[in-house]
Amino acid sequence: MENSQVYLLKNVKKFLSKFKKKEFHPKYNSNLYFVTTTNYVGSYILKRLSKFNENFFSNISWIVSDFLGNLNYINYKVFSNVTGNYEKIIVTWAFKKNFLSNGTFNDRYFNVNSKDLKKTHWFVIYMDDQLPKQIDNNITILKTKTDRSFNILRLLSIIFSNFFLIFKNIYYYLFSISNYNFFSDLFIKEFRPYLNNKIKYLLMPYEGQPFQNSIKAYIESQNLKIKVLGYIHSPPLALPLNLIHKKYCPDKIILNGNDQAKCFTKYLGWKKKQIKILPSFRFLKKNKKNNKKIIFLPLILKNLDLVIDNIEYLIKNKMINIQEYETRNHPASKSKVNLELIHKINKLKNIYTNNSSNFKYKNYLIFIGSSGAIIEALERGEKVLQIVELPLFDLYSQKLWPSISTKKINKNVYLYKLKKKGNLIKLGNKIKKKDLFNLCN
3-state secondary structure of 354: coil
Q: Is 332 exposed, middle or buried (0-12, 13-18, 19+ CB in 10 A)?
A: exposed
pLDDT of amino acid 355: 66
Q: Is 280 exposed, middle or buried (0-12, 13-18, 19+ CB in 10 A)?
A: buried
Query: Each residue of 96-152: pLDDT tens digit?
Result: 999 999 999 999 999 999 999 989 999 999 999 899 999 999 999 999 876 667 788
pLDDT of amino acid 55: 66
pLDDT of amino acid 210: 97
Task: Return all residues near 7 (Cβ < 8 A) that are at least 6 apart.
Answer: none
Helix ranges restricted to H, 18-151 = 41-50, 56-68
Tell me the domain boundaries of the chain: 293-418
pLDDT of amino acid 57: 66
Percent of the chain with pLDDT over 70: 96
Cβ pair 341, 304 in contact under 8 A: yes
For 411, other C-beta atoms within 10 Å of its C-beta total 11
- Cα separation, 321 vs 326, in Å, equals 11
Query: Each residue of 180-226: pLDDT tens digit?
Result: 999 999 999 999 999 999 999 999 999 999 999 999 999 999 999 99
- Cα separation, 38 vs 301, in Å, equals 8
Query: Each residue of 227-273: pLDDT tens digit?
Result: 999 999 999 999 999 999 999 999 999 999 999 999 999 999 999 99
Distance of CA 111 to the CA centre of its chain: 18
Helix, strand, coil percent content, the chain, rounded in steps of 5: 40, 20, 45
* pLDDT at residue 289 is higher than 80: no
For 407, other C-beta atoms within 10 Å of its C-beta total 10
> What sign does the dihedral 17-19-22-28 (CA atoms) show?
negative
